[in-house]
Amino acid sequence: MQRRAATGLRLAGYALNLHQLRFVQEAARRNLNLTETARALHTSQPGVSKAIRELEQELGVDLFVRHGKRLTRITEPGRQMLASVETILREVANLQRIGDEYAGRDTGTLSIATTHTQARYFLPGPVAELRRRYPQVQVVLHQGVPEQVASMLKSEVADIGLATEALAAHEDLVTLPCYEWQHVLVVPRTHTLARENRPTLEQLAAETLVLYHPTVTGRTRIDQAFARARLAPRVALEAIDSDVIKTYVRLGLGVGIVAEQAMREEAEAAGGSDLASVPLGHLFGSNVTRVAFKRGVYLRHFVLAFAELLAPRLNATLLARALRSDAASAVRAAGVDGAGGARADNDYQL
Amino acid sequence: MQRRAATGLRLAGYALNLHQLRFVQEAARRNLNLTETARALHTSQPGVSKAIRELEQELGVDLFVRHGKRLTRITEPGRQMLASVETILREVANLQRIGDEYAGRDTGTLSIATTHTQARYFLPGPVAELRRRYPQVQVVLHQGVPEQVASMLKSEVADIGLATEALAAHEDLVTLPCYEWQHVLVVPRTHTLARENRPTLEQLAAETLVLYHPTVTGRTRIDQAFARARLAPRVALEAIDSDVIKTYVRLGLGVGIVAEQAMREEAEAAGGSDLASVPLGHLFGSNVTRVAFKRGVYLRHFVLAFAELLAPRLNATLLARALRSDAASAVRAAGVDGAGGARADNDYQL
DNA sequence: TATCCTTACGGAATTCGTAAGCATG
DNA sequence: CATGCTTACGAATTCCGTAAGGATA
């Protein structure tokens, strides 16, 4: 910095560098623990500490409040600056993505974050088709509960997310409807309910049920429906995935309720299956599975192509329109007009 | 780069640095002339050249097309990347602004870009009031035609712009209505038209006119009105500013047409003035002067305060809402869906 | 006492300017 | 041949790791 001052350079405040910003971002994400931050970024802890202090000096304000030698919280300017930092680093990542897009035409990695049901029943077709069209693209599947899907999108671990819940609640994600489904009852083919067209909640409550675990998409709607009818069904077992539920239904533990996608295999099985399914949309309503992206990230063409495979309506033009706006200024604006007021539309209807 | 590769660092592609981006941006703005770019940024030309090449290597694609040793045009990836670069540098500037905002409370510079009429007749009040409230804030006034106002906003030379035309046509500016005005006829008090309430185009065409120069706001509307009526008035003189027009009207060169703001002094003069003015809104319609900001820039509180002085309706909450969205992704999106399609709303009605 | 941030220090790599080389119009 | 980009080179400076210091819970 000595020399620059001497030669009179220092292009309008660019003693700033991207490493400093990366450190600040990571520190914010990791509860202001610089040791952990340094480990995560494969660098030395003193380096992180120094870089942040220099950045603060450069900007003229502290980003973090320090209690002695410990960082305790983010200052108000720090909070506002973090929004800019997120934008900067996101756009830097976009530069790389655009570079990759034009450099190695059809090579790269498609990283998908999704829930079990989607991964098991919905995605196999689209993924296979993508692999056929873009043999050079490596597909990585990250499985988790909807909140994890959201957070993988936010940290740019995943390019595209697919889930039925939680996604629309995030400011910095853009979500679009993908397909609609309902729950179905799963019973052994010989069960009396197998011939029932529109079973009632009372009929179901008379059985022992095999349900999804409460963390799984749609379980809450089932609970609510029973609660509204003042029914308290017996639950034999709660499972994370549909295959487990089906297995226990086969064993006679009770009747199951799963997403309809999970029964499509049985429905299409040549010669029929040992399990029958009965739609339950009239009891539990219908669900919409949504595709989500992080707002502002550049989508390579194979990501767009994949979205279109998920739902033909999700073409490049529509996505471009949906992804247009930016959340960084919204976050800053929230401070100006009193916290809650600024809420950008992040759910696009078709 | 050797060493980083050796120690295994290179935090996920951040060999990138902000100087490279600044160089690229400036080169794009200066017709790909690196010599000029280097001069503008107070650095050496070989440095710029090298930095850009390194950036291209880093990103894996060329940003510029070279004919031998000369840069001729921007490549498609280059065009898309420039949008990201603009965003990055804008947010870096915002970091500085936020720092200034919190560091030196009420000090700083308010840079206003505007046209003559605004600077001369409308701004003196608000500027004086701002100086009274924020004595530490230095006010800089940049005068130009509307297109220059727009370009000063874009290059962040000015924080706020004020003009009656051209601003709304720019993607990356946000404009809001400030006040409405009409043209007025200026005649010596003794002139017969001084007692006319609603002069007609024919009456005006019978006189010799003293008008604004065609580059000045509103002149086109006057020409169009006469053209529609198939009248070709005689024009004695075309001037850039209202004071000149008034002067020549006093000299008896003809009758003048100016913006109503320019006659307010005369209307309020104690003991009357030697000039009379007659509203011409019924002939030339009304005009709306607009305030504009560059989309996405952080506005310091005294900028917001100044906007509110220009029009009380332009309060911080409204501005925060208007400034929320971002154009960078829109520019990129334009490529995806075929150039013209993506047009973000940049004019906000109250 | 264990965790965690800051300061100190030194070697290595990068940065950036000057000077020379060479292609275009 | 004038303009303008690139390559070459070397000295100053920044960078970044290790090691030691000091504060908190």
The pLDDT confidence band at residue B107, using thresholds 50, 70 and 90, is confident
From B296, which residue of chain A is nearest by alpha-carbon distance?
A: A329
Q: Which residues contact A323 (CB under 8 A, 6 or more apart)?
A: A174, A293, A295, A296, A297, A299, B329, B333
Residues B203-232, mean pLDDT to the nearest whole number: 89
Lowest mean pLDDT among A134-138, A252-256, B236-240: B236-240
pLDDT tens digits, one per residue of B247-283: 889 888 889 999 999 998 887 877 778 899 999 999 9
pLDDT tens digits, one per residue of A78-112: 999 999 999 999 999 999 999 999 987 678 899 99
Closest chain B C-alpha to A245 CA, distance in angstroms:
42
- Residue B61 CA to residue B78 CA, distance in Å, equals 8
Predicted confidence (pLDDT) at residue B111 exceeds the cutoff of 60: yes
Closest chain B C-alpha to A74 CA, distance in angstroms:
14
Residues by Cβ under 7 A, strand D: A 1-4, 6, 17, 19, 43-44, 46-47, 50-51, 67-70; B 4, 7, 9, 32-35, 45-46, 49-50, 52-53, 66, 69-71
Predicted confidence (pLDDT) at residue B187 exceeds the cutoff of 60: yes
Q: Are A135 and A110 in contact (CB under 8 A)?
A: no
Strand partners, A175: A292, A347
Show residues of chain B in contact with A344, CB under 8 Å: 324-325
Q: Measure, in angstroms, how far nucleotide D11 C1' is from residue A16 CA.
A: 24
Predicted confidence (pLDDT) at residue B313 exceeds the cutoff of 70: yes
Predicted confidence (pLDDT) at residue A309 exceeds the cutoff of 60: yes
Note the pLDDT of residue B266. Answer: 81
In the predicted model, what is the mean pLDDT of chain B?
Answer: 84
- Protein-contacted bases of chain C (C-beta within 7 A): 3-8, 12-25
Q: Are A187 and A269 in contact (CB under 8 A)?
A: no
Predicted confidence (pLDDT) at residue A6 exceeds the cutoff of 50: no
| Higher per-residue confidence, A233 vs A321 | A233
In the predicted model, what is the mean pLDDT of chain A?
Answer: 84
Predicted confidence (pLDDT) at residue A349 exceeds the cutoff of 80: no
**Model pTM above 0.85:** no
Token pair recorded at residue A102: 């034009």
Nearest nt to the CA of B44 via C1' is C17
- Residue B134 CA to residue A122 CA, distance in Å, equals 61
Report CA-CA distances (Å) from A50 to A72, A85, B222: 17, 18, 63
From B335, which residue of chain A is nearest by alpha-carbon distance?
A: A320
Interface contact B43-A92, CB threshold 8 A:
no
Outline where chain A has alpha helix (H): 2-7, 18-29, 34-40, 45-59, 76-103, 116-117, 124-133, 146-154, 201-205, 219-228, 242-250, 264-268, 281-284, 301-310, 316-322, 328-336
First-to-last C-alpha distance (Å) of chain A: 53
Nearest-CA residue to the C1' of C5?
A69
Helix A45-59 vs helix B76-103: crossing angle, to nearest 10: 70
Closest chain A C-alpha to B289 CA, distance in angstroms:
25
Lowest mean pLDDT among A265-279, B64-78, B323-337: B323-337
Lowest mean pLDDT among A76-80, A244-248, B165-169, B279-283: B165-169
Show residues of chain B in contact with A332, CB under 8 Å: 298
Strand partners, B188: B275
Interface contact A61-B102, CB threshold 8 A:
yes
Q: Are B168 and B175 in contact (CB under 8 A)?
A: yes
The pLDDT confidence band at residue B333, using thresholds 50, 70 and 90, is very low
Token pair recorded at residue B66: 């070279």
Using CB atoms, pick whichever of A8, A43, A330 lies closest to residue B324.
A330
The pLDDT confidence band at residue A325, using thresholds 50, 70 and 90, is low
| Higher per-residue confidence, B326 vs A53 | A53
Residues 29-68 of A with CB under 7 A from strand C: 32-35, 45-46, 49-50, 52-53, 66
Residues B208-222, mean pLDDT to the nearest whole number: 87
The pLDDT confidence band at residue B315, using thresholds 50, 70 and 90, is confident
Predicted confidence (pLDDT) at residue B17 exceeds the cutoff of 80: yes
Whether nucleic acid strand C comes within 7 Å of the CB of B70, the answer is yes
DSSP SS3 for B254: coil
Place of tokens 């020409």: B223
Predicted confidence (pLDDT) at residue A350 exceeds the cutoff of 60: no
Show residues of chain B in contact with A93, CB under 8 Å: 13
**Angle made by CA atoms A60, A65, A69, in degrees to the nearest 5:** 110
Length of chain B as a residue count: 350
Q: Measure, in angstroms, how far nucleotide D3 C1' is from residue B35 CA.
A: 10
The pLDDT confidence band at residue B105, using thresholds 50, 70 and 90, is low
Residues B21-46, mean pLDDT to the nearest whole number: 93
Q: Are A48 and A38 in contact (CB under 8 A)?
A: yes
Predicted confidence (pLDDT) at residue A59 exceeds the cutoff of 50: yes
Show residues of chain A in contact with B20, CB under 8 Å: none
Note the pLDDT of residue B120. Answer: 86
Using CB atoms, pick whichever of B75, B298, B336 lies closest to residue A332.
B298
Nearest-CA residue to the C1' of C14?
B1
Residues A275-302, mean pLDDT to the nearest whole number: 92
Predicted confidence (pLDDT) at residue B2 exceeds the cutoff of 90: no
Using CB atoms, pick whichever of A18, A59, A102 lies closest to residue B61.
A102
Q: Are B326 and A325 in contact (CB under 8 A)?
A: yes
Strand partners, A142: A113
Question: What type of residue is A33?
Answer: N
The widest CA-to-CA distance across chain B, in whole angstroms, is 89
Interface contact A84-B98, CB threshold 8 A:
yes
Tell me the torsion sign for CA atoms B126, B127, B131, B132.
negative
From B63, which residue of chain A is nearest by alpha-carbon distance?
A: A99
pLDDT tens digits, one per residue of A147-196: 889 999 999 999 999 999 787 788 889 999 999 999 999 999 999 998 98
Interface contact B92-A316, CB threshold 8 A:
no
Token pair recorded at residue B39: 């001069």
B141 backbone dihedrals φ, ψ, rounded to 5°: -110, 125
- Residue A30 CA to residue A26 CA, distance in Å, equals 6
Whether nucleic acid strand C comes within 7 Å of the CB of B17, the answer is yes
Phi-psi region at A317: left, alpha or beta (left = phi > 0; alpha = psi -120 to 50): alpha
Show residues of chain A in contact with B18, CB under 8 Å: 14, 16-18
Note the pLDDT of residue B88. Answer: 95
Residues A121-149, mean pLDDT to the nearest whole number: 90
- Residue A280 CA to residue A258 CA, distance in Å, equals 10
